[in-house]
C-alpha cells in the first residue's frame, strides 16, 4: 500500500509509538495477562497509568501548584455544561469565534445570563475579534483558543480581570501556555492528546464551590478531583493511549520542541497556499492557526475543487476535505503529523497547478 498522509481533523493522526504500545496492551497490559480494555481500574497497574498521565500533564504544561488534572468522559462538548454548572452564578461572557464557541455559549445560556462579548460571525469566523473590553463583574470569560472549522487561533494568553476559562481542544500541547492565567483549561483528547473518548480538565481548585445552585454529583468538578478521576469507571483505553502520547511528546523534547516543528509545518503549507495560483487561504493572516490550515480554490477556479480532491486522494492525502459547513479544504497538522506529510501535500498542490494553471 502506498504511503498515506493523514490530515484528518479528529480523530486524528497519533504517534506510531503510542499506537504500537496500544496494540501490545490490547494483548497483555503490563504483564497481567489481561488486555487493557478488560483491566479493572482498581488495580495497582492501572492506577500507575493514571498517576503517570497526571504527572506528564503537569510536567509538559508546567502546571502550577493549586491546579488539579482530571480525566472525564463525554468529550469537550460535555465540558461546555460542566463549566457553566460550576462557575456561572450571575453573568458570563464568551468570545464567539466559531461553532464550538457558540455551542459552549448555548449551554451557559441554559443556566443563566451569558452573552457574546465579541464575535467574528460577521465574516464567517475568519478572524479573531480584538480590542474588546472585559467587564470586571463577570463570573468568567470563556474563549476557544483554536477553531478547527475555520482555521483561526488565539495565540496569546489574555490578561483578564475575571476568571479565564479556555477550550483548548484543538491546540493544547502544540504550544506553550501560561496556565496560571486560566481558571480552567479543558480539551477533548482527539486532536493532540490521544484518541476520542476522554477529555482533560486542568482546574484551579480554590475557584470551585462558589456557585449557589445544586450541582449534580457527576457534574461537580470536585467529585472527580476528590476521587482522582475514578468516581466511576474511567475510559481506560483512551487514557492509556493518552499517556503513551504524552510520553512520546516528552521524548520529542516537549512543548517548545514540538511548537517549533508545528510552526515550520504551518509556514510551509501557508507559503504554498499563498504562492499557488489555484488556491487561496480563508483565515485572516494574522490569526491563521498552526493546527488547522483552511483553504479553497482561487476565484475563478472553483470548478476544480472536486478534481483536486480526487487528485490528492490518489496521492495518499487523507482527510483534507473542509468541514461540511464551510467546504473547501482543511489540512490538520497536529503534533504527530510530520514535515514529510506536509511536504507531500505541497508537492501535490504544485503538481496539480502544473497540470491546470
Catalytic residue among 139, 171, 191, 204: 191
Helix-, strand-, coil-residue percentages of the chain, each rounded to 5 = 40, 15, 40
Q: Look up 100 and say whether it is catalytic.
A: yes
Q: Look up 191 and say whether it is catalytic.
A: yes
Catalytic residue among 46, 57, 100, 248: 100
Return the DSSP state at 321: B
Residues 6+ apart with CB under 8 A from 268: 339, 342, 343, 346
Catalytic residue among 46, 57, 96, 167: 167
Q: Which residues in 50-86 are b (16+ Cβ under 10 Å) and which e? A: beebbebbbebbebeeebbbbbbebbbebbbbbbbbb
- Please name which of 49, 47, 137, 41 lies closest in space to residue 93, comparing C-alpha atoms: 137
Helix-then-strand count for the chain, H and E: 9, 14
Cα separation of 356 and 276, whole Å?
A: 11
Distances (CA, A) of 300 to 150, 226, 242, 357: 22, 59, 44, 11
Grid coordinates belonging to 260: 517549533
Collapsing DSSP to helix, strand or coil, 107 comes out as: helix
Residues 6+ apart with CB under 8 A from 33: none
Cα separation of 79 and 74, whole Å?
A: 8
Q: Which residues in 243-259 are b (16+ Cβ under 10 Å) and which e? A: bbbbbbbeeeebbeebb
Residues 6+ apart with CB under 8 A from 114: 84, 88, 91, 92, 93, 94, 105, 108
Residues 6+ apart with CB under 8 A from 225: 68, 70, 203, 205, 208
Q: Which residues are catalytic?
A: 100, 167, 191
Amino acid at each position: 500500500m502506498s504511503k498515506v498522509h493523514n490530515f484528518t481533523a479528529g480523530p486524528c493522526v497519533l504517534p506510531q509509538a503510542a499506537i504500537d504500545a496500544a496494540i501490545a496492551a490490547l494483548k497483555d497490559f503490563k504483564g497481567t495477562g489481561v488486555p487493557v480494555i478488560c483491566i479493572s481500574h482498581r488495580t495497582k497497574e492501572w492506577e500507575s497509568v493514571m498517576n503517570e498521565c497526571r504527572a506528564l500533564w503537569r510536567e509538559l504544561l508546567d502546571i502550577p501548584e493549586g491546579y488539579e488534572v482530571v480525566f472525564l468522559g463525554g468529550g469537550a462538548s460535555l465540558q461546555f455544561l460542566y463549566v457553566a454548572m460550576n462557575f456561572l452564578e450571575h453573568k458570563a461572557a464568551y468570545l464567539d469565534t466559531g461553532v464550538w464557541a457558540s455551542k459552549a455559549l448555548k449551554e451557559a445560556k441554559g443556566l443563566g445570563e451569558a452573552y457574546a462579548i465579541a464575535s467574528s460571525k460577521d465574516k464567517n469566523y475568519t478572524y479573531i475579534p480584538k480590542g474588546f473590553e472585559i467587564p470586571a463583574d463577570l463570573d468568567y470569560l470563556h474563549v476557544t483558543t483554536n477553531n478547527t472549522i475555520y482555521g483561526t487561533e488565539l495565540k496569546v494568553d489574555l490578561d483578564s480581570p475575571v476568571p479565564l476559562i479556555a477550550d483548548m481542544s484543538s491546540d493544547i500541547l502544540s504550544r506553550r501556555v501560561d496556565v496560571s492565567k486560566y481558571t480552567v483549561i479543558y480539551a477533548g483528547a482527539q486532536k493532540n492528546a490521544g484518541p476520542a473518548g476522554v477529555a482533560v480538565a486542568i482546574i484551579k481548585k480554590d475557584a470551585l464551590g462558589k456557585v449557589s445552585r445544586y450541582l449534580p454529583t457527576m457534574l461537580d468538578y470536585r467529585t472527580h478531583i476528590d476521587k482522582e478521576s475514578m468516581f466511576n469507571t474511567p475510559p481506560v483505553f483512551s487514557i492509556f493511549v493518552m499517556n503513551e502520547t504524552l510520553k512520546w511528546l516528552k521524548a520529542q523534547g516537549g512543548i517548545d520542541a514540538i511548537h517549533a516543528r508545528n510552526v515550520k509545518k504551518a509556514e510551509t503549507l501557508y507559503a504554498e497556499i499563498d504562492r499557488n495560483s489555484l488556491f487561496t487561504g480563508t483565515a485572516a493572516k494574522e490569526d491563521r492557526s498552526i493546527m488547522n490550515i483552511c483553504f479553497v480554490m482561487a476565484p475563478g477556479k472553483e470548478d476544480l475543487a472536486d478534481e483536486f480532491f480526487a487528485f490528492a486522494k490518489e496521492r495518499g492525502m487523507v482527510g483534507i476535505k473542509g468541514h461540511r459547513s464551510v467546504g473547501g479544504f482543511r489540512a490538520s497538522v497536529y503534533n504527530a503529523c510530520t514535515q514529510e506529510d506536509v511536504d507531500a501535500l505541497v508537492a501535490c498542490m504544485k503538481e496539480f497547478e502544473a497540470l491546470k494553471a
